[in-house]
Amino acid sequence: LIAACFMAAPGALLMAKIIVPAGSYGERDAAVTEKQEAEALSSTHSSAMGGARYTRSEGAESQDSAEGAVTLRERPGAPSDVPAETSETPVEPAEPAANVASADPDEEPARNVIDAAARGASDGLKLAANVGAMLLAFISLIALLNVMVGGVSGWFGLDGVTIEGILGYIFAPVMWVVGVPWGEAVSAGSFLGQKIVLNEFVAFADFGPQVDSFSPKAAAVITFALTGFANLSSLAILLGGLGMIAKNRRSDIAQLGLRAVAGGTLANLMSAAIVGMIIVS
């Protein structure tokens, strides 16, 4: 399990870079936004400078008109009611571009280290409680689905049909590709299906009592394939747990969640395939 955990980390990074290459998400949008802000700021600055030149020109013309009117008044016989028109156009200062990524207004910064530690402990407890509740709910759900599937299949004379068996036939080719013998691929695919659809805790809880019935190679490959948090319930935990902690990143978690599950699953299967090549029998 320790080796599987260490092997999953670089594999997950590799799959993440393959699925979401650099510049495909976030960076390109940020570059476009930065370019638009620069163009808007440049346009505002140019408009302000043009307005200032126009105002100075009008001011100079008005000053010349006023001086001409004074000269006419000083001349003998010149009318004294010549109006001196002056116009001044106020120049409004250019406002700086608004910052796009603003902080969460509801989030108050920690006062000191003790406050930060207390908040971290509280958020960790919420996340742990969320994980425990999710585990309990999914274990109960698979038991309920087994009862329902068994009852429906019994009407057609098919006894012993379970969710695990259905998932086993679906994922059996995948486990055979990574190195599990075909005679054990259906049972191994059942554990992989439980891990992806439900979570790894349910899969390991079902795999533990049956580990002695598999060959050493199949047991090692299954262990590496199940060691990971890439499953649909983890996506729900991220949305429910981390979504409350970082509310401004909830949309990013939802957008990249399925890609993260796919990348983590491929990383686990890559580690399992390496083990399948190393262990001969």
The pLDDT tens digits for 160-191 are 788 888 888 999 999 999 999 999 999 999 99
Exposed, middle or buried: residue 37 (CB in 10 Å: 0-12, 13-18, 19+)?
middle
Exposed, middle or buried: residue 270 (CB in 10 Å: 0-12, 13-18, 19+)?
buried
Q: Tell the residue number behind the tokens 């994980």, with chain if given.
A: 131
Higher pLDDT, 34 or 80: 34
State the number of CA atoms in the 13 A half-sphere of 3 facing the CB: 9
Q: Tell the residue number behind the tokens 């399948």, with chain if given.
A: 276
pLDDT for 52 beyond 80:
no
- Within a domain: 120: yes
Q: How far apart are CA 83 and CA 34, in angstroms?
A: 51
pLDDT for 32 beyond 60:
no
Alpha-carbon separation of residue 68 from 60, 65, 80, 87, 98 (angstroms): 12, 5, 12, 16, 47
Confidence of residue 214 (pLDDT cuts 50, 70, 90): very high
Q: How many residues does the chain have?
A: 281
Higher pLDDT, 110 or 209: 209
pLDDT for 142 beyond 70:
yes
- Within a domain: 59: no
- DSSP per-residue letters across 22-87: TTSSSHHHHHHHHHHHHHHHHHHHHHHHHHHHHHHHHHHHHHHHHHHHHHHHHSTT--S-------
- Within a domain: 33: no
- Residue 202 and residue 142 in contact, taking contact as beta carbons nearer than 8 Å: yes
- Within a domain: 10: no
Which tens digits make up the pLDDT trace of 59-100? Answer: 555 554 545 444 444 445 444 444 444 444 554 454 444 444
Average pLDDT over residues 18-41: 64
Max intra-chain CA distance, the chain:
126
Answer positive or negative: Cα dihedral of 122, 128, 134, 137. Answer: negative
pLDDT for 55 beyond 80:
no
Give the pLDDT score at 249: 77
Average pLDDT, the chain: 74
- Residue 19 and residue 263 in contact, taking contact as beta carbons nearer than 8 Å: yes
User: What is the pTM assigned to this prediction?
Assistant: 0.60
157 backbone φψ class: left, alpha, beta (φ>0; ψ -120 to 50) = left
- Residue 265 and residue 234 in contact, taking contact as beta carbons nearer than 8 Å: no
- Within a domain: 203: yes
Give residues with Cβ within 8 angstroms of 279, minimum separation 6: 179, 216, 217, 220, 221
- Within a domain: 27: no
Q: Tell the residue number behind the tokens 């580690």, with chain if given.
A: 271
Give the pLDDT score at 38: 66
Ranges 131-135, 157-161, 196-200, 204-208, most confident: 204-208
- Within a domain: 20: no
Per the structure, the complete domain to which residue 147 belongs is given by: 113-278
- List strand residue ranges (DSSP E) for the chain, in order: none
The domain total for the chain is: 1
Average pLDDT over residues 128-138: 78
Residues 60-92: b if buried by 16+ CB within 10 A, e if exposed:
eeeeeeeeebeeeeeeeeeeeeeeeeeeeeeee
Average pLDDT over residues 222-248: 79
Helix (H) or strand (E) holding 109: none
Give residues with Cβ within 8 angstroms of 104, minimum separation 6: 247, 248
Give the pLDDT score at 31: 54
Average pLDDT over residues 255-265: 84
- Within a domain: 272: yes
Give the pLDDT score at 176: 93
Which residue type does 151 have? G
Which tens digits make up the pLDDT trace of 9-21? Answer: 777 778 888 888 8
